Structure 1
């Protein structure tokens, strides 16, 4: 019974840690952004330079801890690491649930969104099997030779760090965000019929005879005109349904939102996205390449828009220095970073459908971009085939390791 419970605990904790580490590894930029949110919430912005290294380390440690638990190797070390993770994050998530300094813990990246309280209760549930594994760790006899354990550890350490680095230098190999290729932005902004609506409570401050008193809509003295209105405050008491995309607003220089014009365009539209121009990677011919792409598409009647959260002064300086001739639209910085993990990056839309996305390290060749839709579909098929091959390779390898048990 004890051994069966140990195996079940090992599998449950192992899979959870593998999933948590992997989804962080495929989107290190997103993990770094979330770590930055934590630092800002706790007033430790001076440590912002550590967010990207932390994204690599946390993803690798979580993945390797879970993998070793699942495979039944290095149980003593892995159980200690798992317990350290749970000991740190369980009280931290309780504090976050109570104080609510951030709205999403980011435990599972964008793959699985949990509320702060859901995250805390998840940790409480996971803490029990983690403690059981730790207590019983010395009773487990590992069945893989030491040399094989070393090979497995080194291989998967290189694999998870390689995936993280590739996803940083290109785009996430798996995109869990609502702006992923194939999604329709208009559909992502819709609220389903019958969806739960938010509930608000408004408090009114009224004054009479020099004394102030608070009222709600239920006990407001509507018929007593001797009360004088002072102020009111409205707060949300129950969250309603929020669509996956709720901040896709693209204002032109006059402050007019052009989002629907772009999303409803029958012709393809290319978006050049730079959340902050002064932090973008424009060297090594990247800007020149994007300008050439814009010109090629213009000859075909395809418009290009430049989306940024930069100030007007920064936009003016960028345009003057590069003589780019872009049509600039202002947007929310967080939204732009969610759309694409690249600064700059390219997104191709048609009727609101995300047809293609490119990191600045993978910009299309202007000569090959004569038919952008066909080019995008070809790129997507190649990426899907590579991802499928990677999944087969890693899955097959893990399956083979299970048969490397020494008799």
Structure 2
């Protein structure tokens, strides 16, 4: 689905609702205003709902925005704003749920005409906020990574790879929009936002005041509980991410890699370093006229064809071993059933060090060719100490008990974490009793694989059979009976 298809569907729904409001309920004061109420309301309800399915996805997207904002503001006159973003990151899950619930509530209020003037201003301010986010993201495409966003004089030509946040997250993982598209979408929504403020008295109102209040309260309670169910108590009810049961990760990764290899260079986009003039030269012509475009004068950017298939996060699936070397090819070769435990974050903090004295015994050969003690040396070893979240540790101990049964039954069991200090991982394994192989991967990849920390996936060869939130993990006996046939 594209944004244009989605807008068409929403417009059809809005037209039907407007017809019912006008001809059946006879509540329309102005046809255009009523249509815009239904259109914007339905759009907000839908966009909020697909995010409510996966609140953690929205939270992770917010973390990317906050990190970018912090680095942008801390080296400017507005540096006093920078400390706000780590604070928001600390409570990002709750902030995500709040924004999702507010967006859906606002959509419902628009449709039923609740608190018209408040709703009009709330819609305007929220769209303005979204426009700022998407506009900032889009405009970072003109700013190279080593230049601060507010150094406007150093902006260059638009380069998509300059953007650290590559999509707005407006529709979660259901529909990925490029920042430019998202920005113009929000600019478009500013038109009805202004109309609502100017013509608030012409907005229709459905039902009685008590009924509207009950609908609003039910929306808040219902959507809040639904959000909690999709990340605190279970994984998302619908999986829009590439890692889902039934997907052969090995084959999909190979297909995406092949598609990227077959991408062709169509042209070169050349930017004059002095005048900033941009020209685009077809690839074949560029090769023939290479001497006309010296590197001292131009900056080069390739224009490539689109891959034959969409490239997903599966393409970034790469695992490293404890020594830092890639073990992705070894992982592809695992046969049979295997359990992947994913934990992008280990909830612990370094709390100090402990020094202990150990003895090293040196031997030498005796007269009768046997080893005898030559000397005994002592040395000090310093270990890092960690304090762990006991609630988190308890989850792992339950997990270890079930995975031990799986290993004893012949299944391969391993964990994947972010690239923590090996000492921290060893300390965590000692604390939880987890004695299986532990690999490393990028934390964004791990967040994409499963929305649970820890979460468990069952594979058969390279195909995902099933995945579970830690709270919903069945006993190994149940997993074996239902899935390992």
Q: Same fold (TM over 0.5)?
A: yes
For 1:104, the equivalent position in structure 2 comes to: 167
User: CA separation of 1:199/1:363 partners in 2, compared to 1, >3 Å: closer, same or farther?
Assistant: farther
Determine the C-alpha separation between the residues in 1 that align with 2:204 and 2:268.
Answer: 59
> Structure 1, residues 219-247: CA drift from partner, whole Å, max 9, x if none?
6669xxxx9x99x9975555844611211
For 1:344, the equivalent position in structure 2 comes to: 454
Q: 1:271, 1:306 within 8 Å by CA — same for their partners in 2?
A: yes
Residues 219-230 of structure 1: matches in 2 within 5 Å?
Answer: none
Q: Tell me how far 1:91 sits from its aligned partner.
A: 3.7
73-82 or 173-182, larger mean C-alpha shift = 73-82
Instruction: Name the Cα RMSD after superposition.
Output: 3.2
Q: 2:400, 2:433 within 8 Å by CA — same for their partners in 1?
A: no
For 2:100, the equivalent position in structure 1 comes to: 59
SS in 2 for 1:10: helix
Please, which runs of 5 or more residues in structure 2 have no aligned partner? 1-27, 71-81, 141-162, 271-285, 349-388
**TM-score normalized by the length of structure 1:** 0.77
Residues 350-361 of structure 1: matches in 2 within 5 Å?
Answer: 350-361=460-471
Determine the C-alpha separation between the residues in 1 that align with 2:444 and 2:305.
Answer: 21
Determine the C-alpha separation between the residues in 2 that align with 1:319 and 1:72.
Answer: 56
> Structure 1, residues 182-211: CA drift from partner, whole Å, max 9, x if none?
3332354223769755679699xxxxxxxx
Structure with the higher strand share, 1 or 2:
2
> Structure 1, residues 38-64: CA drift from partner, whole Å, max 9, x if none?
111011343222322221211011011
User: CA separation of 1:219/1:332 partners in 2, compared to 1, >3 Å: closer, same or farther?
Assistant: same
Q: 1:202, 1:217 within 8 Å by CA — same for their partners in 2?
A: no
Residues 160-309 of structure 1: matches in 2 within 5 Å?
Answer: 160-169=223-232, 170-189=234-253, 190-191=255-256, 197=264, 240-241=306-307, 243-244=311-312, 245-263=314-332, 265-278=334-347, 283=392, 285-309=394-418
**TM-score normalized by the length of structure 2:** 0.66
SS in 1 for 2:231: helix
Q: 1:273, 1:345 within 8 Å by CA — same for their partners in 2?
A: yes
User: CA separation of 1:281/1:40 partners in 2, compared to 1, >3 Å: closer, same or farther?
Assistant: farther
> Structure 1, residues 157-184: CA drift from partner, whole Å, max 9, x if none?
1001111112221212222111123333
Determine the C-alpha separation between the residues in 2 that align with 1:142 and 1:374.
Answer: 56
Q: Tell me how far 1:153 sits from its aligned partner.
A: 0.9
SS in 2 for 1:305: strand
Determine the C-alpha separation between the residues in 1 that align with 2:213 and 2:484.
Answer: 46
Residues 303-322 of structure 1: matches in 2 within 5 Å?
Answer: 303-309=412-418, 310-322=420-432
72-81 or 48-57, larger mean C-alpha shift = 72-81
Please, which runs of 5 or more residues in structure 1 have no aligned partner? 204-215, 376-407
Q: How many residues align?
A: 357
